[in-house]
Structure 1
């Protein structure tokens, strides 16, 4: 069977409207201090996160499961349009940021060849922002593997972080 190209596959898309201005949503998404509060699905924590937020820069975050297992993710930034768009390539990594096969962690992950993750930030007015995350995994695979559910739980956690950020202002 021939490999499918980006245009031939329906990609995983998660969208959420936050009751927060775009500037705040951008900050929650791009500041390691806040990323550590939401990285990973419900029940997971993030004990470490480093970021060099520029085109060609990288993100390295640790996600710790409730039973204490650590999973590292890294991303490289390919395009950044402040408060509008981030294009990156995310992958499973070791604690130094070296790419690893997710199967070595017991994780089933099907990426689309040559696809990047795209995060869009849309100002809806009235202090609301739509965040859209388009992953590099096929939609059906993301649904079956729990990736879609995990990303929705992450967006729930971001909503909580944004509520705290707004209170602190």
Structure 2
């Protein structure tokens, strides 16, 4: 079930990860781990600021495999340990990302809802974001398996 205010403006996916919610949450809250899996395949990251707390800023550059740099800035809006993270990407393209973690035995059901400013922006972003989000979650699962 989508947690977006406007489901037509959202790109969402879900995944069952083979780690408990504490370990999944740690992959988000620990910048050294996050930098290793955040972004689509073959992207790397340079974090400039990472304040994992409500109201905290996350400023970083994603480096594409083609050598292009993509500046990013987000603000953490809500953090509930081991269960929920909400961040607002405050540069173009604007979006709100809600990550919800639910225990399923020793696994975690992860819900990833990326809500854009309008259904029109979501429609434009959906082909890129849908694929990129799946790659991000693939990289997260690989990272969780390696630690």
Normalising by structure 2, report the TM-score. 0.85
Matched pairs, number: 140
Greater Cα offset, 75-84 or 6-15: 6-15
Q: Report the Cα distance in structure 1 between the residues aligned to 2:136 and 2:52, rounded to whole angstroms.
A: 20
What's the secondary structure of 1:24's corresponding residue?
A: helix
What SS is found at the alignment partner of 1:20?
Answer: coil
Q: State the distance in 2 between where 1:153 and 1:55 align.
A: 27
Alignment of 1:120-135 (within 5 A): 120-125=100-105, 127-135=106-114
| Contact 1:32–1:49 (Cα < 8 Å) also in 2 | no
Q: Is the 8 A contact 2:9 2:115 kept in 1?
A: no
Unaligned ranges ≥5, structure 1: 1-5, 93-101, 103-108
Cα offset for 1:152? 0.5
Q: Give the Cα separation in 2 of the matches to 1:59 and 1:130.
A: 25
Distance 1:62-1:74 versus aligned 2 partners, 3 A rule: same
- Change in 2 beyond 3 A, CA 1:47/1:78: closer
Rg larger in structure: 1
> Could you tell me how far 1:74 is from its partner in structure 2?
1.5
* Aligned-pair Cα RMSD in Å: 2.0
8 A contact 1:32–1:50 mirrored in 2: no
After TM superposition, give the deviation of residue 49 of structure 1 in Å. 5.1
Change in Cα spacing, 1:45 to 1:9, as seen in structure 2 (3 Å) is same
Q: Structure 2: 5+ residue runs without aligned partners?
A: none
